[in-house]
């Protein structure tokens, strides 16, 4: 036997064992057990010789130490008298140290040989175990003792690790996997019964067994299947009841919260990572619901009228959001890097059913607002009634706009700002159009477009008075529009502003992409607060949102341009109202001029202008009040 290989620094036990067995299989196949025993005996004898050599070297080193100490002492005594010989003494000491280092190196090499030989002996013993265990495993299975069977399979697995380079290694692997499958099949009825009854002691036994045979994922699959099936059955019973979808979701979410706390308490006594296990249970349950939440949402939205559709969606989303807040409060103290990805997956599974409708929020909000504003009357039979309705419509208009902002925040945490702005612009455009039509109707009722007729003329300043009231209404519209724009800007920054990265720059698409990556990283803080459906569904709208946020942050909320178009439309509306007032005044002048002859034009004009001056004084007094 060549023992020189044990001195190699890159000595490989497996390679040496496999080489020894390859020689036997070529020369004398079928005598592997005998050869293994012979090799073990030879290695043990050689180990004994190495031990003797180590002992002799150690004795020699101990015998040399007193002499060395005496020499050193002599050197110390002569040092004060032989300064001129110090260099020679140092050289002698250095030479002695070098000789000692060589001796220690020899000892280290001998110890390495010993360690390698011990490893080789252990490897041979493990290899020898495979044959013995393979022969005994069938008898072990007859006992149906899971712990004993698992122990045998674990030993076979350790032995197989030493036989990686043997020709029949793959066959042995297949054989071992088949034995593991038999064990799993044997234990499966007991596993299901254990998880259904929630027996802690029995569950711990199965965790130990399946951990030893590297089958823990399969055991967790049994756990998920048992409890997921129970929860899915509860959901199916709820969907077949007469309850509304909101009530069904509310009751099912209550069940999930109760399940979280119950299963977490039980899993903490059984599994090593209970929080991740129970989180995966909720994820699989949400994914296995039949019918799915997405399908239920779609069916409910189709059956809901256009006017109630947005309110129904918001009600369902608030129910889901309340459930998410309950889970967040329960999970947040235990949120860590190990289960962060699973929590993020749970958040997506919970909120993704609403993603389609959140992306359609702009259209839904616009349709809702147009229906609501169409129900606001602006025109009545009499001009004074029209002026009254126009005045009352201001509060209704901004009440609708404020309600839209609240719905946007509740449904999207401000992410749907672009859709909200589009809906608000449509609302103001519709309102301005109806207001303008009402002004045209008032002009007709006041006969401002008719040719003056002196024969039927009666002096009437009510049209001018109503026009003044309409001007005041337009002024209130402009004032409230500015205040609402300021409030909207602040609301947007306080809600969606957290998604804007400090490194964002609108100069290039690279800057936008950088923000996206940054925001994904920020999701590692708390997935419950960082869910972003735009990044998962519409990056173009997300980039538009970033531009809006960046503009508000740079210019300040006091200089925002969110409502440029509505403000311009209201300004034009104010001009129309002023024109109505002037036309109503000059209508009286035209009628007065028709009452006199051409020679009396100047005198009558002075009288009319004097009357107009008095009305303007009254108008200024009304405005000051």
pLDDT of residue 609: 43
Instruction: Say if CB 588 and CB 474 are below 8 A apart.
Output: no
Across all residues in the chain, what is the average pLDDT? 79
DSSP 180-195: HHHHHHHHHHHHHHHH
pLDDT tens-digit profile of 47-82?
888 899 888 888 888 888 887 777 777 767 776 666
pLDDT at 555 over 80: no
Calculate mean pLDDT across residues 606-625: 44
- DSSP letter, residue 451: P
**Three-state SS across 74-136?**
HHHHHHCCCHHHHHHHHHHHHHHHHHHHHHHHHHHHHHHHHHHHHHHHHHHHHHHHHHHHHHH
Q: Return the C-alpha torsion angle 121, 127, 132, 135, nearest 10.
A: 180
Q: What is the pLDDT of residue 510?
A: 41
User: Is the CB of residue 475 less than 8 Å from the CB of residue 574?
Assistant: yes
**d(C-alpha 281, C-alpha 224), whole Å:** 6
Average of per-residue pLDDT across 546-557: 80
pLDDT exceeds cutoff 90 at 587: no
In this structure, the number of other CB atoms found within 10 A of the CB of residue 185 comes to: 9
Cα separation, 479 vs 35, whole angstroms: 102
Nearest CA-CA partner of 373 in 384, 365, 361, 381: 365
Q: Which two tokens stand for residue 221?
A: 């699959």
Give whole-number Cα distances, 227 to 159, 196, 269, 284, in Å: 37, 8, 17, 10
Indicate the pTM of the whole model: 0.68
When pLDDT is averaged across residues 277-301 and rounded to a whole number, the result is 93
Higher pLDDT, 88 or 192: 192
Q: Does the pLDDT value for residue 584 go beyond 90?
A: no
What value does the mean pLDDT take over residues 539-557? 83
Find where tokens 């042995």 sit: 172
* 452 neighbors 587 (Cβ within 8 angstroms): yes
Q: What are the tens digits of pLDDT across the range 399-448?
A: 999 999 999 999 998 899 999 999 999 999 999 999 898 888 887 877 66
Whether the pLDDT of residue 602 is over 60: the answer is no
pLDDT of residue 105: 77
Residue 347: is its pLDDT beyond 50? Answer: yes
Assign residue 447 a region (left: φ > 0; alpha: ψ between -120 and 50; beta: otherwise): left
pLDDT digits (tens, 9 = 90+) for 146-182: 677 767 777 677 666 666 666 666 776 776 677 777 7
């Amino acid at each position: 036997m060549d023992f020189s290989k044990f001195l190699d620094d890159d000595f490989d036990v497996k390679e040496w064992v496999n080489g020894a067995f390859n020689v036997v299989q070529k020369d004398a196949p079928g005598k592997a057990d005998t050869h293994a025993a012979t090799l073990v005996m030879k290695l043990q004898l050689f180990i004994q010789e190495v031990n003797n050599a180590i002992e002799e070297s150690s004795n020699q080193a101990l015998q040399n130490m007193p002499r060395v100490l005496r020499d050193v002492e002599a050197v110390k005594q002569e040092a004060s008298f032989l300064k001129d010989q110090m260099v020679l003494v140092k050289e002698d000491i250095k030479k002695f140290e070098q000789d000692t280092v060589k001796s220690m190196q020899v000892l280290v090499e001998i110890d390495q040989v010993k360690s390698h030989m011990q490893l080789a002996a252990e490897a041979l013993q493990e290899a020898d175990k495979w044959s013995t265990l393979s022969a005994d495993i069938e008898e072990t299975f007859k006992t149906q003792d899971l712990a004993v069977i698992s122990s045998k399979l674990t030993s076979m697995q350790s032995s197989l690790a030493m036989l990686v380079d043997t020709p029949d290694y793959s066959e042995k692997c297949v054989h071992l996997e088949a034995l593991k499958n038999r064990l799993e099949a044997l234990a499966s009825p007991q596993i299901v019964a254990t998880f259904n009854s929630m027996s802690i002691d029995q569950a711990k036994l199965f965790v130990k067994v399946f951990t030893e045979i590297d089958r823990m994922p399969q055991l967790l699959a049994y756990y998920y299947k048992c409890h997921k099936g129970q929860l899915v059955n509860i959901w199916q019973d709820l969907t077949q009841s007469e309850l509304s979808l909101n009530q069904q979701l509310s009751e099912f979410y209550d069940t999930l919260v109760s399940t979280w706390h119950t299963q977490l308490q039980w899993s903490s006594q059984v599994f090593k990572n209970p929080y991740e296990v129970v989180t995966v249970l909720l994820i699989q349950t949400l994914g296995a619901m039949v019918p799915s939440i997405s399908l239920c949402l779609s069916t409910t939205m189709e059956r809901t009228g256009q006017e109630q559709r947005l309110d129904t969606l918001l009600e369902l989303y608030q129910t889901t959001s309340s459930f998410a807040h309950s889970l967040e409060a329960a999970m947040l103290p235990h949120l860590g890097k190990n289960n962060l990805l699973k929590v993020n997956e749970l958040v997506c599974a919970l909120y993704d059913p609403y993603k389609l409708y959140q992306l359609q929020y702009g259209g839904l909000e616009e349709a809702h607002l147009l229906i609501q504003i169409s129900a606001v009357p602006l025109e009545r039979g009499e001009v004074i009634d029209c002026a009254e309705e126009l005045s009352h419509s201001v509060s209704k208009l901004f009440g609708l706009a404020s309600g839209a902002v609240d719905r946007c925040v509740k449904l999207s945490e401000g992410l749907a700002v672009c859709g909200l702005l589009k809906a608000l612009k449509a609302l103001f455009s519709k309102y301005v159009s109806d207001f303008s039509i009402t002004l045209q109707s008032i002009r007709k009722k006041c006969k401002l477009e008719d040719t003056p007729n002196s024969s039927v003329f009666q002096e009437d300043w009510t049209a001018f008075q109503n026009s003044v009231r309409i001007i005041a209404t337009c002024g209130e519209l402009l004032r409230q529009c500015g205040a609402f724009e300021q409030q909207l800007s602040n609301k947007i920054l306080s809600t969606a502003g957290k998604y804007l990265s400090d490194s964002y720059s609108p100069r290039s698409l690279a800057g936008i992409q950088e923000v996206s990556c940054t925001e994904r990283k920020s999701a590692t803080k708390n997935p419950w607060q960082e869910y972003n459906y735009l990044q998962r569904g519409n990056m173009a709208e997300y980039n538009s949102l970033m531009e809006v946020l960046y503009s508000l942050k740079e210019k300040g909320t006091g200089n925002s341009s969110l409502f440029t178009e509505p403000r311009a439309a209201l300004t034009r509306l104010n001009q129309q109202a002023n024109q109505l007032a002037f036309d109503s005044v000059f209508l009286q002048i035209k009628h007065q001029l028709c009452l006199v002859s051409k020679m009396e034009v100047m005198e009558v004009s002075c009288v009319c202008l004097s009357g107009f001056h008095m009305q303007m004084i009254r108008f200024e007094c009304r405005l000051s009040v």
